[in-house]
Amino acid sequence: MKAYLGIDVGSVSINVVILDETGAVLTGLYLRTQGRPIEVIQEGLKQTAGLLPADLEIAGVGTTGSGRYLAGVMVGADVIKNEITAHAVAASMLIPDVQTVLEIGGQDSKIIILREGIVTDFAMNTVCAAGTGSFLDQQASRLNIPIDQFGALALRSETPVRVAGRCTVFAESDMIHKQQMGHKVEDIIKGLCQALVRNYLNNVGKGKEILPPVMFQGGVAANVGIRAAFEEALGMPIQIPEHFGIMGAIGAAQLAREEVALTGKTRFKGLKIMGLPYRTGNFDCDGCPNVCEIVEIYEGEKVIGRWGSRCNKWDIVENS
Amino acid sequence: MSKITFPRMGESYRTFKMFLEDLGNEVVVPPRPSKRTLDLGIRYTPEFACFPLKILMGTYLETIEMGIDTIVTSGGVGPCRAGEYAMLHHKLLSDLGYKVKMIVIEPPRLHPFNFYKSVRALNKARISIKGIIAHVKRAWRKLQALDNLEKLSHIVRPREINRGNTTKVYRKALEWIDQAYTTEQIVEAESTALEALNSIPQDANRNVLKVGIVGEIYVLLEPASNLEIEETLGNLGVEVEKSMFLTGWTRDNSWNETSEGITVKEAASPYLPELIGGHGRDSIGHTVLYAKRGFDGIIQLAPFTCIPEIVARTILTKVSKDYNIPVLTFFLDEQTGKAGMNTRLEAFVDLLKRKKQFQSGIESFTC
């Protein structure tokens, strides 16, 4: 049986997905990046391998996320795609006529507008990470509430307080102020959810025509409080896909499937890579005053990837 | 003898160096803006000032280390704060204890007397007016040659068969034009250079996207300030056309506005009938013109906190809808990361490709 591997290496999580030939999800893993992408990618492949039937052949691999190049050279990806395309592809696999995709991940949030299955517009947060997963994580641990209960608490509030949501630092001091005034925790959390949604729609969603069906994905979609705040602010229902946290990886696998259908072969190095020694090194290039920080990734003793330079001096000629 | 420098914008420094030397100045060529330039610049400029002020401040401090005592720069047209940067730079530098002379060239059409005074200050060799005009003509020809070469590189790069070929040939060809001095030499160097670019192996059948770049002139012209966006796009298989070149801009504001300038103004007028400073109105007008010419998408480049471009960006949302042309905006400053920019560019190019495939039924893009 043929299957396709998708890996999404994000700031907070690494997702590894296997799709079967029809595009259905066979396995899907959500692992924390913990600042060690290489080890977690290998761990993810190891766990995935354990879940697969023996006769499964991986016929294509796609990578996405901010670590897509790293993952791409490690596994030998057929396609290395940006997160926006990957998320849009995954969303239209589930709802072919989806017109709006809201995606909030660990450190970035984006909105993708589709019409008739084609991405027509998108935006990504630029100067501010307020309202992304990392901030919610941080607030949950400050309030000593497990992150998976954070959103549910918001639903219990009847009189949300108004929280300044433009900037994480101000949002936090505003929340502390409200808490010292004696407001209930659930009211503050609901206020925070509303503030973050407001911030998202004003900054990321600015000027975009949000039409149904609307899909909400990314790690933050687990938060029912944020979801409710979105439905309230937009005045329309929001759909959350079953695999909302790993949609990027699903999209990458699907793109690999399309790519392999064109090229007829895969560059996947095989699951053996989960046992290979990888290490990275870095140095400052002194070729010009830019002093680029060059990062190299080694497989054993061989350099397989190098990036960080502004010119092409350190590019590696692909060994096909 | 006094040493002179000037702001660096792309490859135009090759012309300015020649011209200032012709007038009898000892010229220090400003180094290409680097991380160090920026570090120096942001240390001594207000955080909310726009990107050009910061980069130029860094350039001036770097060239002061190289021994300059005179800076020649341009003034501005219309209500944009860049018109005051010469004075601001002068004040910042003298606060730091550097005594430099600032020669500000204002557009001759608006400030003929000031223009005459500036040219006199630069004319160390006491050349006759006729002589100066001859030098200006030759410098102008060189600037045109540089612009023509750059324009062709944008067409060849997305079609090259071996990635990186165009950039390599382009760098070499720039030196040929740099070395040329007389008008005949410049013309000859130009045609050799264009020929060299044209003879790069290309795939003529490749489906190439066309993207127009609009925005503020400095970030448009200096690749170090826009993270080499044209090269990045070229490597993604996109043909780029920039809405502004120094030869185009100088002409629009020096003599009568060209017919080209008027069409841009006319194109923008249903959306923005006023000059709001900087290049806000041009960004809108050029977007309309590119859309009419059948371009696939538009990229707007602006320095962070640039008011004219912020206004233009808001209006471009409507232009984009009216003409069904996707627009992507980048606000640039020292915080802009290349990784984030590349992600957005890749996604934008994917969007354009899929849109074009969908509309025209093209099977696939081979890039």
Alpha helices in chain B (DSSP H): 13-22, 35-43, 51-65, 85-95, 112-122, 129-156, 165-179, 183-198, 217-221, 229-235, 246-254, 259-268, 280-292, 307-323, 338-360
Distance from the Cα of A175 to chain B's closest Cα (Å) equals 28
pLDDT by residue (tens digit) across B242-281? 888 888 755 544 444 445 555 788 888 899 888 887 888 9
- Residues of B within 8 A of A118 (CB-CB) are 351, 354-355, 358
pLDDT confidence band for A13 (50 / 70 / 90): confident
Contact residues for B325 (Cβ-Cβ < 8 A; gap 6+): B287, B290, B291, B295, B296, B297, B298, B319
A146 and A79 housed in the same domain: no
Distance from the Cα of B338 to chain A's closest Cα (Å) equals 9
| High-pLDDT (> 90) share of chain B, % | 54
Instruction: Look over chain B and give the mean of its residue pLDDT values, rounded to a whole number.
Output: 87
Distance from the Cα of A119 to chain B's closest Cα (Å) equals 6
The vertex-A307 CA angle with A306 and A308, nearest 5°, equals 145
A51 and A159 housed in the same domain: no
pLDDT confidence band for A316 (50 / 70 / 90): low
Q: Which of A9, A70, A115, A118 best tests the B interface by mutation, with the highest count of B CBs <10 A?
A: A118
CB contact under 8 A, A119 and B344: no
A220 and A305 housed in the same domain: no
Which residue in A85, A127, A312 is closest to B350 by CB distance? Answer: A85
pLDDT confidence band for B81 (50 / 70 / 90): confident
Chain A positions with Cβ closer than 8 Å to B: 66, 81-85, 116-122, 124, 126-127, 207, 262, 288-291, 310, 312, 315
Round to whole Å and give the CA distance between A297 and A72.
Answer: 11
Q: What is the mean pLDDT of residues A98-118?
A: 87
Residue B360 has pLDDT above 80, yes or no: no
pLDDT confidence band for B367 (50 / 70 / 90): very low
Q: Which of A295, A290, A291 is nearest to A308 (CA)?
A: A295
Which residue in B314, B343, B354 is closest to A83 by CB distance? Answer: B343
- Ramachandran class of B35: left when φ > 0, alpha when ψ lies in -120 to 50, beta otherwise: alpha
Q: Which of A68, A82, A262, A294 best tests the B interface by mutation, with the highest count of B CBs <10 A?
A: A82
A218 and A320 housed in the same domain: no
Which residue in A82, A120, A127 is closest to B355 by CB distance? Answer: A120
| pLDDT (0 to 100) of residue A170 | 77
Task: Give A264's strand partners.
Answer: none
- Residues of A within 8 A of B331 (CB-CB) are 126-127
Distance from the Cα of B139 to chain A's closest Cα (Å) equals 29
Round to whole Å and give the CA distance between A45 and A231.
Answer: 37
Asked if B152 and B202 touch (Cβ cutoff 8 Å), the reply is no
A197 and A289 housed in the same domain: no
pLDDT by residue (tens digit) across B86-98? 899 999 999 999 9
Which residue in B326, B339, B346 is closest to A121 by CB distance? Answer: B326
- Give whichever of A27-31, A105-109, B57-61, B257-261 has the largest mean pLDDT: B57-61
Q: What is the mean pLDDT of residues B142-170?
A: 92
Round to whole Å and give the CA distance between B310 and B274.
Answer: 15
A227 and A143 housed in the same domain: yes
A114 and A202 housed in the same domain: yes
Task: Give A70's strand partners.
Answer: none
Q: Which of A54-68, B101-115, B140-154, B174-188 has the lowest mean pLDDT?
A: B101-115
| High-pLDDT (> 70) share of chain B, % | 94
CB contact under 8 A, A82 and B346: yes
| Residue, of B113 and A126, whose pLDDT is higher | B113
Distance from the Cα of A168 to chain B's closest Cα (Å) equals 18
A99 and A76 housed in the same domain: no
A123 and A252 housed in the same domain: no
In chain A, the number of structural domains is 3
Which residue in A66, A124, A315 is closest to B344 by CB distance? Answer: A124
Please give the interface size between A and B, counted as residue pairs whose CB atoms are below 8 Å apart.
69
Two tokens at B109?
């059409």
A60 and A103 housed in the same domain: no
Domain residues for the domain of A126 are: 95-240
Q: Which of A240, A260, A292 is the last residue of a domain?
A: A240
Torsion angle (degrees, nearest 10) of CA B12, B232, B281, B259: 60
Q: What is the mean pLDDT of residues A300-320?
A: 71
CB contact under 8 A, B335 and A116: no
For residue A147, give the amino acid letter: I
A233 and A100 housed in the same domain: yes
The owner of tokens 């170090």 is B224
A123 and A201 housed in the same domain: yes
Round to whole Å and give the CA distance between A26 and A17.
Answer: 7
Other Cβ atoms less than 10 A from the Cβ of A297: the count is 20
- Residues of A within 8 A of B32 (CB-CB) are 288-289
Distance from the Cα of B245 to chain A's closest Cα (Å) equals 23
